[in-house]
Amino acid sequence: MTKDIAISLKDISLLYPKNNKGIGSIRELITGRMKKQDSRMFTALSEINLEISKGSVVGIIGPNGSGKSTLLRVIAGIYAPDTGAIQVQGRPTLLVSVGTGFQQDLTGRENIYLTGSIYGFSMKEMKAIEQDIIEFSGIGDFINDPMRTYSAGMRARLGFSIISNLKPEILLLDEVMSVGDYEFRKKSRARIDEMVQSDATVVIVSHSKTILTSICDKVYALSSGKIVTSGDVDEAFEFYESDKE
């Protein structure tokens, strides 16, 4: 992989349990009692080939169940593909829509430090950016309230503010750009532009044509676990609209 490529996926395929609502299927898969040929498995990703250049903003679009979020988790290293090879230059940071990973009984401020520690930042480092995180999120005095009292939008805004202030090399966003009011969405897009200018690579999963067309260099459409377009923005949305019908 050349130095100008941040993410390289070659022939990536991933099987997944059809019923993943409980831990039973996962336990069977780990222990080997559920075989890959089992009828309870389905193909979540199939023969994915994709190269993403450093500093680019790439959008992923597709109907629910098409494999968008699974693809982000493969890039993040959360899921290991069954076949194929993945190479990532830089540490990927995944942010999902409602701030998954926050501890509900901790305050927003405490979750700032907890998240920072997960990503290897010291208390001193987080203290230096704490106020920037709070101001950007627009949470205000709610920062001292337990996370369980936050709306989904507030959690997502705080999560985006924390992650973006950590200045990740590779930022993976799963449906977070549509939260908050117009002003926060505008700030979020401006922050992504800042990260791109500082050589960060961004991959965004979204259903929003407005968001993806305004900030992405390329957009790929997924259908049934496969990339079905070439990266052209108009082509991706034409396929997406026809695929929904």
Whether residue 236 lies inside any domain: the answer is yes
127 falls in which pLDDT band (50, 70, 90)? very high
CATH of the domain at 181: 3.40.50.300
User: Is residue 81 located within the same domain as residue 197?
Assistant: yes
Instruction: Supply the range of the domain harboring residue 22.
Output: 5-91+168-244
Q: What is the pLDDT of residues 139-160, one digit of tens each?
A: 999 999 999 999 888 888 898 8
What pLDDT, on the 0 to 100 scale, is given for residue 96? 74
What pLDDT, on the 0 to 100 scale, is given for residue 24? 46
Q: What is the rounded average pLDDT of the residues 115-137?
A: 93
What does the alpha-carbon distance between residue 9 and residue 195 come to, in Å, rounded to a whole number? 23
Q: Nearest 5°: phi and psi at 197? A: -65, -20
What does the alpha-carbon distance between residue 95 and residue 173 come to, in Å, rounded to a whole number? 5
Angstrom CA distances, 125 to 110, 122, 152, 177, stand at: 14, 5, 27, 26
Q: What is the pTM of this model?
A: 0.80
What pLDDT, on the 0 to 100 scale, is given for residue 22? 46
User: Is residue 50 located within the same domain as residue 114?
Assistant: no
User: Is residue 112 located within the same domain as residue 230?
Assistant: no
User: Is residue 44 located within the same domain as residue 82?
Assistant: yes
Whether residue 99 lies inside any domain: the answer is no
Specify the number of domains making up the chain.
2
What does the CA dihedral 91, 65, 161, 172 come to, rounded to 10 degrees? Answer: 20
11 pLDDT exceeds 60? yes
End-to-end CA distance of the chain: 38
Beta bridge partner(s), residue 201 = 170
What pLDDT, on the 0 to 100 scale, is given for residue 30? 47
Q: How many residues appear in the chain? A: 245
174 falls in which pLDDT band (50, 70, 90)? confident
User: Is residue 54 located within the same domain as residue 15?
Assistant: yes
What does the alpha-carbon distance between residue 41 and residue 35 come to, in Å, rounded to a whole number? 8
164 falls in which pLDDT band (50, 70, 90)? confident
25 pLDDT exceeds 60? no
User: Is residue 28 located within the same domain as residue 72?
Assistant: yes
